[in-house]
Amino acid sequence: MTLIVLSCGLFSHKIVVKADVKVDVKEDISDSTTEETLKDEDLDWGSFYDPKEIFCGKFDCYKILGFDYTTFYTNKPELRNITQSYRSLSRKYHPDKNKQKGAKERFVKISKAYEILTDKAKRKEYDHYRDRPDEYFAKYGSSVMWTYAPKSDASFIVFFLFVLVSVFAYFAQRQRWQTVANHVIKAAVEDLSPREGGSRDSQEIRQKALKVLAEREASKDVANDESKKNDGLSNKVLKRNARLSKLDKKKDSLEGLKKIVVDLVNEIDDFGGGFHKPTWKDLFILKLIQFPIVVMKALIWRAKFYFNRLLRKPYSPAELQIMTEVAVGAVAWESASEEEREKMVTLELWESENLEEWREDQKAKLLSIGDQKKHARMKKKQAKQA
């Protein structure tokens, strides 16, 4: 009976022990699943310049497997050391054995580090780029230094640039014309001579403006005389009003002249030499299309010119005109009259000595009459000495 009791006691004890083991296992499992998420910030995996993630990304492959690169001169890991470390860490973080959040990601990084360090070619390349980020950038590029903006419509950008450049070209051409116009207005109103900055155009405009002003003042005087008769003012009062209004009349006359000059100048669309009001022909797109045509024409003209010289042919009238225009400049050529142009051609200004002499003569024309006579006498004296 005792034996049976003992057996029962033993049997019941075994059952109790087994029940205790089952409870303990359940408690361990519940504890492992309630741990916090694994974070990269808690790791001591070093750092590496690998924005394209060719190797181990921002982490050091050696550090991931527990090796310190700074001690390699005394203790460099061999293949068996790397394999041992990998197996140890993989058992710890394998998704089948570790249910914590982030364990799978760590296992992937550990596997990647093992893959790099066990491949001789990849490991050699990895060691080479450790202290050479510039070479890494040259080969693989970078996604850390910048990021590309969303793609824009290229046609819209090109159209916008063409519009912007065309607007700029329009106002630039307008400013070129306005600069010359302001100078002509000033010269015409102040009656400047050529040596003072005036020109043939300014003198012609002044004469036209004075004629228009005289007609307006004549009609105005007739109207004033009629009004005076109707008012019946005495001669004494009329004389006094005349004296008082003399200065105002002169001032009004000058202002009226300026207004007429401005109107006449605004009617001029082209001063020559490229100083014209902007038109649709000045659009950037048209100039861009015409540019190769202009260059091609210039090259063809040059080729014909040199070919004619090889054949020892004399200069043609067109060649003489172009050579003279190039020598004196587009502005001087455009502003000259037909007679002056013919004279320029006969002077053979494409020769440097003749061109210098012509320029001195143009400067002399801007001098006073006395200085011009002195210049002429000096020129004759130099000619006699030569």
Side chain identity, residue 382: Q
**Residue recorded with tokens 């360090």:** 117
**Residue recorded with tokens 């019941």:** 12
* DSSP-assigned letter for residue 49: -
**Residue recorded with tokens 């492959």:** 61
Provide the mean pLDDT of the chain: 78
How crowded is residue 349: how many other Cβ atoms within 10 Å of its Cβ? 24
Lowest mean pLDDT across 8-12, 137-141, 157-161: 8-12
Per-domain boundaries in the chain: 40-140, 154-266, 282-385
pLDDT higher at 318 or 236? 318
Distance CA 205, CA 181 (A): 11
pLDDT of residue 276: 86
pLDDT above 90: residue 118: yes
Number of helices followed by number of strands (H, E) in the chain: 15, 0
What does the block give as tokens for 209? 């403006």
pLDDT of residue 270: 85
373: left (phi over 0), alpha (psi -120 to 50) or beta: alpha
CATH fold group of domain 40-140: Helix Hairpins (1.10.287)
Residue among 200, 198, 196 nearest 208 (CA): 200
- Tell me which H or E stretch contains 32: helix 2-33
pLDDT above 60: residue 109: yes
Q: Where are the alpha helices (DSSP H) in 190-315?
A: 200-231, 235-266, 284-310
pLDDT of residue 295: 93
